[in-house]
Amino acid sequence: MGASLREQLLQRQLGSYSAAELGVDQLRTLEQTGQNLDQSRPSELLVIVFLQPDAPLRPGKKPVDPKIREALAKSLDRATINNALLQKKGAPASGLLPQWLTGYEFLFPGAQDRDRARTLVTGSVTAGTPIVLAYDFSDPVSKLVAERVAVDAREVGIQVRPYGENHVNTKSARAGLNADAILLRVPLPSLEPSVALATVAGDLGFDENTAAMLGASRPEELFELERKTLENFRVIPVARLSQAVWLNSNLHNWQQLPTGEWNMDQLWVEGVR
């Protein structure tokens, strides 16, 4: 009666619930006790977005030097973020769309290169200026990743100051943030690559090529449009998360789509005996 999900996790029982969404930080304990879990493919994008374009829109707020943005991208240890922080429940990300959907994500560079990052920092006139990185304070995974981004950045001479913020998930809320960049979690909106890319780009504030993305019919066209979105490092993909659900033993024919959405057409729940 009135027990929180955390209390139920500690008791390792769902009670009257048929299913409950889980964060990746909650999975290990349940897996070790043989609970019934289901995961989608790595689909939800964890991405750093710089809010100020190179042509400033807000007076008094300067854009982050493109060299520093590139250095930050090359400082990230995406493998460690996935293996340690996400407990191998996702995948490192170098593009906006997952490899399993497009087949070309591996063409985007995502390997850590600290030597190149340090060279870029040395060549920047704004190297000592801190980057303020906002994240959703209600999301423990975003907090962990933002803090790890700061650690990786410090290794190459970049100061990143992460802080939790109330509202980060809408364009209007992000417009008023006193931050240089924001760490966002963006769900995969469609299994149609052109629709998915246009929607993700629009959600991140890059609307200029969305019409071309929707009209792209070949993978090479989509790749080129995605490359243009990523080329100036205003968007830095970090990782991709799976969607996890804890299922009760009385639940049958549960289906979770690769995007993490639930398909309940064949679902049925066994009555109490």
pLDDT-based confidence at 150, cuts 50/70/90?
very high
Taking a C-beta distance cutoff of 8 angstroms, is the pair 174, 182 a contact? yes
Q: Is 203 helix (H, G, I), strand (E, B) or coil?
A: helix
Question: Is the pTM value of this prediction over 0.85?
Answer: yes
Query: Is 92's pLDDT higher than 60?
Result: yes
Residue 223, Cβ density class (10 Å: 0-12 exposed, 13-18 middle, ≥19 buried): buried
Distance separating alpha carbons of residues 174 and 171, to the nearest angstrom: 5
Higher pLDDT, 125 or 273: 125
Distance separating alpha carbons of residues 112 and 43, to the nearest angstrom: 22
pLDDT-based confidence at 102, cuts 50/70/90?
very high
pLDDT-based confidence at 19, cuts 50/70/90?
confident
How high is the pLDDT of residue 273?
Answer: 56
Rounded mean pLDDT, 25-36: 82
**Each residue of 249-263: b (16+ CB within 10 Å) or e?**
eebeebebebbbbee
Rounded mean pLDDT, 28-38: 84
Q: Is 247 helix (H, G, I), strand (E, B) or coil?
A: strand
The runs of H, that is alpha helices, within the chain are: 5-11, 27-32, 66-75, 78-80, 99-102, 114-122, 140-154, 171-175, 193-203, 210-215, 219-230
Higher pLDDT, 47 or 273: 47
CATH number of 44-241: 3.10.105.10
The token duo for 136 is 């959703």
How high is the pLDDT of residue 172?
Answer: 66
**Under the phi-then-psi rule, with left for phi > 0, alpha for psi from -120 to 50, and beta for the rest, what region is 49?**
beta
Rounded mean pLDDT, 6-21: 74
The separation between the first and the last C-alpha atoms of the chain, rounded to the nearest angstrom, is 20
Residue 240 CB-half CA count within 13 A: 23
Q: Give bridge partners of residue 251 from the DSSP assignment.
A: 269
pLDDT-based confidence at 259, cuts 50/70/90?
confident
Write out pLDDT tens, residues 52-81.
876 655 555 678 999 999 999 999 999 999
How high is the pLDDT of residue 190?
Answer: 94
Distance separating alpha carbons of residues 171 and 131, to the nearest angstrom: 20
Write out pLDDT tens, residues 178-207.
899 999 999 999 999 999 999 999 999 898
Write out pLDDT tens, residues 210-228.
999 999 989 999 999 999 9
How high is the pLDDT of residue 5?
Answer: 67
Write out pLDDT tens, residues 227-239.
999 999 999 999 9
Percentage with pLDDT > 90 across the chain: 61
Query: Is 169's pLDDT higher than 80?
Result: no
Distance separating alpha carbons of residues 166 and 171, to the nearest angstrom: 13
Residue-range domain boundaries for the chain: 17-40+244-269, 44-241
Count CB atoms within 10 A of the CB of residue 244. Answer: 21
Count CB atoms within 10 A of the CB of residue 195. Answer: 13
How high is the pLDDT of residue 135?
Answer: 95
Mean pLDDT of the chain: 89
Q: Is the dihedral of CA 66, 67, 70, 75 positive or negative?
A: negative
Taking a C-beta distance cutoff of 8 angstroms, is the pair 241, 44 a contact? yes
